[in-house]
Amino acid sequence: MNEITRLMNRAPKWATWMIYAAVGVFILTVVQSLTDTERLTSATTSSAMLRWAVPIMLAGLGGLFSERAGVVNIGLEGMLALGMWFGAWGTINYGPWWGLVIGIIGGGLGGLVHAIATVTFGVDHIISGVAIIIAAPGITRFLSLEIFANYDGGSITQSPGVDGVGKFTFPFLAGGSIGGWKSPDILGWFMDHGWWFISDLASVGRGLTFNLSQMTILAYLLVPLIGWVLWRTRFGLRLRIAGENPQAGESQGVNILRYKYIAVLLSGALAGFGGAYIASPELNGIYLEGSTLNRGFIGLAALIIGNWRPAGVMAGALLFAYPTALGKRDLEGTSTHSLLLVAVIALAFVVLWALSRNKTGDAVLAGVLALLAGFWFLAADTVPKWWTDVQPQLIVILVLVFFAQRLRMPMAVGQPYRKGES
């Protein structure tokens, strides 16, 4: 186990993530072979996962900017709601791309309020975030009463339907077109042959590359861009100094307050992007009051298990979105029931990992949880709906229990800062 870990640490990050993804698909393939389901690795499930993960990921990336600068932003849920309302209003009046821009501005306004409260006036970060969460639904309800209620198909709780942006299919991988010429569909070819694991891997890949919204592609392109900005630019270094040791940064001439403001504004803007995405045809197709569904909080959970890294946030969002995507099409509950067996296998890996590090207590706890999940799997044929709803919270708890020592939050996050303290 230790040798495998050393090899993984030496591999490039992108290769490591690809290996993790392949192992995950392999586990799902094994479970499919043992249970009566084909949805675990279907293209429709992976495609839905990609869509459902976007607002969670964008909220998590927003939290990443904010917390890397030392400001806790639990108000992301409210900023999602603002982005959703303004995104729908902008789309109805000016088209989907302008709707996205206006949704980003709407979320950014929420970020501005949070920045003024926490950075300028020193309000406790949690209190300010809670205030935004409480205020945002009231603001959007008032705006809906004044505006959407006067539109055909609108009301105090929802907007009329909104238009979406164009679609894109990757050439060669999923058969997309190049200048009117339809390219081969390589993943589809492998998928149609029905080869064990290989076809399942191709099916998952095709769901991630076929008929994607341009807004979805833009959201995922932000992940490497944000990673580059935060770790490869002077701006990113100074922003991270604001969240690690602001006094030291100030002594070097860095305007810490400016970088905190920028980070929180970007945090709100990214949440606004996520809200506008929820209102787009990729998910709701309208503004619908209350349909953020705690994605702001789940985004913060993705931030934690992603260890305050952009790729980790994306991986956490996809992990959280997968049960939801699976459950939306699993009306009889058999496929989501199979996730219990997936949990057993994952916990078995945790047992081996803990034993390799002489963590007997962790190994015993993981073993007990695996036995409980296995007993539930054998004793029932289906699972209740709440099983998929609580999985994000369960995953976060398990990560914190077993891997908390591998997580490192910014050192000065949440701490008050006043200019001139150094």
Residue 2 has pLDDT above 60, yes or no: no
Question: Rounded to the nearest 5°, which phi and psi values hold at 168?
Answer: -145, 135
Percent of all residues in the chain with a pLDDT value above 90, rounded to a whole number: 75
Mean pLDDT of 169-197: 90
Residue 14 has pLDDT above 80, yes or no: no
Residue 88 has pLDDT above 70, yes or no: yes
* C-alpha count within 13 angstroms, C-beta hemisphere, residue 342: 20
pLDDT, one tens digit per residue, over 213-239 is 999 999 999 999 999 999 999 999 999
Residue 28 CA to residue 415 CA, distance in Å, equals: 42
Weakest-pLDDT range from 169-178, 244-253, 386-395: 386-395
Question: Rounded to the nearest 5°, which phi and psi values hold at 181?
Answer: -95, 125
pLDDT, one tens digit per residue, over 52-69 is 999 999 999 999 999 999
- Say what the pLDDT of residue 386 is: 81
Residue 8 has pLDDT above 70, yes or no: no
Q: 5: pLDDT confidence band, cut at 50, 70 and 90?
A: low
Residue pointed to by tokens 């084909």:
38
Does domain 40-168+211-320 fall under CATH 3.90.550.10? My reply is: no
0.85 exceeded by pTM: yes
Portions of the chain given CATH number 1.10.3470.10: 40-168+211-320
Mean pLDDT of the chain: 91
Q: Residue 288: helix, strand or coil by DSSP?
A: strand
Best-predicted range by mean pLDDT among 80-94, 334-348, 404-418? Answer: 80-94
Weakest-pLDDT range from 128-142, 182-196, 215-229, 388-402: 388-402
Q: 417: pLDDT confidence band, cut at 50, 70 and 90?
A: confident
**Within its chain, how far is the Cα of 219 from the centroid?**
10
